[in-house]
Amino acid sequence: MRVTRSASIAVALPVALLVLAAAGLWLVLGAGGGTRTGHVVIGGVPMVEVHPRVAPGERRPGVVVAHGFAGSARLMRPFADTLAAHGYVVVLPDFDGHGASRRPLPRDDAADTVALQRDLDLAMTLLRVQPDVDPARIALVGHSMGAAAVTRYAAAHPEVGATVAISLPGGATGPVDNLLLLVGGLELPGFHAAAAAAGERGGRHDAVVTVPGVEHISILFAPRTHRETAGWLDEAFGGPPQPGPLPFPARRVLGAAVLMAALAIGVIPLARLLFGPPAGKWPRFDRPLIGRAGGVAGVAAILGALIAPFLPSARLPLSLGGYVVGLASVTGAVVIAYTWRNRKPETFRHAFAAPVLAVYAAIAVAIPLHLGLTYAIPGGSRWVLLVAVWAGFAILAYGGERLAYGNSFGVLAVSAVTVVALTAAAVAGLTSGFVLLVGPLLAVLLLWQALWSAVLNRFAAPRWLIAAAGSLLVAWPIATALPTL
C-alpha cells in the first residue's frame, strides 16, 4: 500500500515533537546535577541557594551572583552550576522589580542604588549563615547592573575575598581588590571603556579580560566567561574546593531552544485540528510586496517613535515597556489605517480557536523560558501589564498581516523596521539606551512570530487570530522580564 506524503508528515511531526521535547527537557532538567537547591525570601528578596555535595561539617567558600537589568536569578543559574561544580556554595537574589520579586524597582537612581546594596547585603548575610559556608571566604559575581552593584559593595566591604564584574557599565566606584573584569568582544564601546577604567583604579591584583565573539547577553553563556570566573575565584581561595570539569554553561538555554522548537512544530498539527487541511502554500519571497510593506511600516514606525513618549502607555509601571508598547501600537494603528480602504472587513470565523491558540502560545513561550532561561511566570501587577503589552503588539501584528496580505516575509519586514525605529529612538535619546542591548532578542522574538504567521496563514486562519496568537509570543517575555516600577 502506497503511503501518501501527507500521511508521512502526519506521522513524522508528532514523532519530531516528542523527540525534541524529550531532548529539551533532558538538557534543562539535567543541568546542575549533583547539587541541592533551595528557595527562600528574606526581607522581601527572593533568593536561590545552590549547594554542592559536601561532607558533614565541611565548610566551603561562598559566592553571591547578581543579575543585571531585566535579568533574574534564573538567568544567572548557569554560574551557580559552574561554581557548584568546583565546590562553591552560591546564592542568587532577585533584585527589586525583577524575577520573582514583588517589590517594584525604585524610579530614582539614588534610591535604586541603595536598594541594590540592601538586597546584596541580605544575600551576603544569608550566604554567611549557611552551615556549609566559610564566612571568611566570600566572593561576588555580577553582570551589567549587577556588576556595578557588586563592585560598589566590594569597594565598601574589603572583607570580600574576590569579585568578578561581567559587562560593567559606566560609573566610577572605589578601588576593588582582586577584581576580574570581563567584557564581550562584540559589546558596545562604553563597556570596554568602563572595564579599562575600573581596571586602572588601583585595586590589587585586578585584571581585564575580553571574551571574543560575544555581546552583552551571550557573554553569560560563553564557556570562556565561566572558565575565567571559576579560575579567578580558585586562585583567590587557594585552589578549587572541589576539582573537576566545568559543565557546559549554555546547556539550559540550549534546552530551552530545543523545547521551543518542539512547541513550534506542534503549531502545525494544532492548526490542522482547528482549521482543517492546509488551504494555501508556504509564503514566497515577493520583493515588491516586501519593499512596500517595509516602506509603509517605516513611515509608521517613525511616527510611533516620535509620539510614543506622549501616550498614556508611557505611564505603564514597566521600565521601558511603556515606550515600546506605544511605538508598537502607533506603528500598527497607522498601518491598519493605511490598509483599511483596500481590505474587506474581518469576520470572526473560527473564534472558538482563539483561546486554544492563546493558551498554546503562552505555553510555547513561558515554559521554555522559565525552565531554561529566565523567570517567566507573571505575578501580581504583571498580569495587567501583560495584557497591555499584548494589546500593543497585537495591533502591530494585525497591521503587518493586513499590509503584507498574510505573507510572513512581509510581516517580518514590518517587524524589522519597527526594531530599527526602536533602536534609532534609543540612539536619539527618546528612550533608554538599554534597548540597544536587547534589540537582538526582540528581533528573535519577532522572527518566531513570523514563523507562526507562515504556518497559520497556510491553514487560512483569520488574520486577527494570527495576530492575537503570535503577538503573545513577543509580549510575554517583555512583560515578565522588564522590571516593574
The predicted structure's pLDDT at residue 203: 64
**Average pLDDT of the residues in 122-146:** 97
Domains of the chain: 32-246 (3.40.50.1820), 266-481 (no CATH)
What cell does 429 get?
A: 535619546
Is residue 45 over pLDDT 90?
A: yes
pTM of the model: 0.94
Position 1 scores a pLDDT of 40
C-alpha grid cell for residue 59?
A: 565548610
What is the arithmetic mean of pLDDT over 221-239?
96
Report pLDDT digits (tens) over 440-477.
889 999 999 999 999 999 999 999 999 999 999 999 99
Share of the chain above pLDDT 70, in %: 95
**What pLDDT is recorded for position 2?**
47
Question: Is residue 22 predicted with pLDDT exceeding 60?
Answer: yes
The predicted structure's pLDDT at residue 3: 47
pLDDT of residue 5: 59
What would the grid cell of residue 276 be?
482543517
Average pLDDT, the chain: 92
Per-residue model confidence (pLDDT) at position 380: 85
The predicted pLDDT at position 6 comes to 60
Tens digit of each residue's pLDDT (9 = 90 or more) over 318-351: 999 999 999 999 999 999 999 987 666 666 778 8
Compute the average pLDDT of residues 418-433: 94
Q: Given pLDDT bands bounded at 50, 70 and 90, which one contains residue 439?
A: confident
Which pLDDT score, from 0 to 100, does residue 101 have? Answer: 96
